[in-house]
Amino acid sequence: MELELVFIPSPGIGHFRSTTAVAKLLIDIDDRISATLIVIPSRFSDHASSSYPESQNRLSYRLLPPGDQSTEHTFISYINSYKPQVRTAVSELSQRRQVAGIVVDMFCTSMTDIANELGLPTYTFYTSNASYLGLQFHVQSLYDEKKLDVSELRDSDTEFEVPTLTRPFPATCLPSFMLSKEWFPFIVGRARTLRESKGILVNSVAEMEPQALKFFSDSDSTPPVYAVGPILDIKADHGNDSQDEKKTDILRWLDKQPPRSVVFLCFGSMGGFSEEQTREIAVALERSGHRFLWSVRRASLEDTVKASPPENFTNLEDILPEGFIDRTAEIGKIIGWAPQVDVLKSRAVGGFVTHCGWNSTLESLWFGVPTAAWPIYAEQQFNAFHMVEELGLAAEIRKDYRGDNLLGELEMVTAKEIESGINSVMEQGSEMRNKVKEISDKLHVALMDGGSSSAALRKFVQDVVGNVP
């Protein structure tokens, strides 16, 4: 029996790549499965079809045409505007093949409506970790069963128990969306929709989150959860000609540095800072004395909820401390775009100052690079707590920093805090560095035949076959 799984990734090349990666794992593990990705274009790029790989044996792509790219859209409303096109695409595919179900990205859960209309099972590809999934369910339960609205805790020092964590979780590390009165109803509604899934693929590894996986295996109120990670895009080369030149220059510089001597600072595709905050980072770097590779971006002046990407500064010499560039010329390199995977792979990199995006976190662990946590938006504050306090795999810069401006004026992270985090993450022979090496080895084993993630993938396919309508 040949079965088709339809995947709907969130807009953007990053989500497309991770969804492609999990689809490839599934079709490689069972030759009965084929996959089609229905691709919603990003609002902030004009990726032509040539930007995406060609369809191949049992893996196909359906690229939807550009729709309403109005700046009035939030990220979620933009996705919802594609429902008619997605419905048409799935209907056409169902007429030609046996569709076993729709796998929606964690930000595309509203597409569950389409699966229900067509009588198809819905599965979710949850691109974050199992512990955060547990927090989402817990926040919904607190509201539905105890009428506790966690958005009322925004200025509170309250700590509460989360069933997927082993220690009390502070309200200060709740994501801004959960602390926003405006967005809280959406968070609760999405958790309810997630409970309707037939199963949830989580981009994590059982050995990293035993508490979370035990909770889900014992629960009768949540769908089955399959830890199938790490789902990483670490082999493909996606750069254009201009980026290839920059990448060559960056890697050539790294090759000249001593082993584990460079601290890498990069804050993701949506991470940037104000001029004042950028100066504090520069002061911290110079005081620390460590070699550095620093991806510098200016925070978008647009509303982060609408997902406006950061931009390069045009006047770096004017905003950095006077003489900084000259004084650090021998030990530092300032860049804009960064080939993150290739940098983390370099033997010269000894630490990574990161926004705690889950993909970046997994990439750093895969290559055995310790991190210093500086979250900005989305679920990154939770990830920072998870990595620093729960797992002991990261140093702290500030776990509860927010760069999305949803809750008012942003606080400044001081040069002293940043310097302390840099020095901690660059400490050689530390307990944290040893823990990172141990978990890195476990991540590699998990995807091997007989590993925990490989077994979870096979169990998922078995359940998909059993749920075929």
Tell me which of 105, 138, 386, 404 is the catalytic residue: 105
3-class SS string, 317-328:
HHHCCCCHHHHC
Is 47 part of the annotated catalytic residue set? no
CA angle in degrees (0–180, nearest 5) for 153-154-157: 65
Q: Look-up: residue for tokens 């950028």?
A: 278
**How far apart, in Å, are the Cα atoms of 40 and each of 12, 108, 399?**
8, 10, 33
What is the layout of strands, in order, in the sheet containing 33-39? 59-63, 33-39, 3-8, 99-105, 122-126, 199-202, 225-227
CA distances from 380 to 112, 140, 205 (A): 25, 19, 18
First-residue to last-residue Cα distance in the chain: 13
Range 236-268 burial, b when 16+ CB lie within 10 A, else e? eeeeeeeeeebbeebeebbeebeebbbbbbbbb
Rounded Cα–Cα distance for residues 12 and 235 (Å): 19
Is 290 known to be catalytic? no
Nearest-10 Cα torsion for 294, 298, 300, 301: 160
Q: Which long-range contacts (CB under 8 A, 24 or more apart) does 49-55 make?
A: 51/13, 52/16, 53/20
Counted residue by residue, the chain has a size of 469
Q: Is 27 in contact with 33 (CB distance < 8 Å)? A: yes
Contact 277, 413 (CB under 8 A): yes
| Beta-bridge partners for 102 | 6, 122
Contact 285, 302 (CB under 8 A): no
Strand, helix or coil for residue 354: strand
Dist. CA 235–CA 261, nearest whole Å: 25
Q: Rounded to whole angstroms, how far apart are CA atoms 105 and 117?
A: 18
The structure tokens 């022979």 sit at 429
**DSSP H helices in 126-205:** 130-146, 176-179, 184-195
Q: Which residues of 356-373 are buried (b: 16+ CB within 10 A; e: fewer)?
A: bbbbbbbbbbbbbbbbbb
Active site positions, annotated: 15, 105
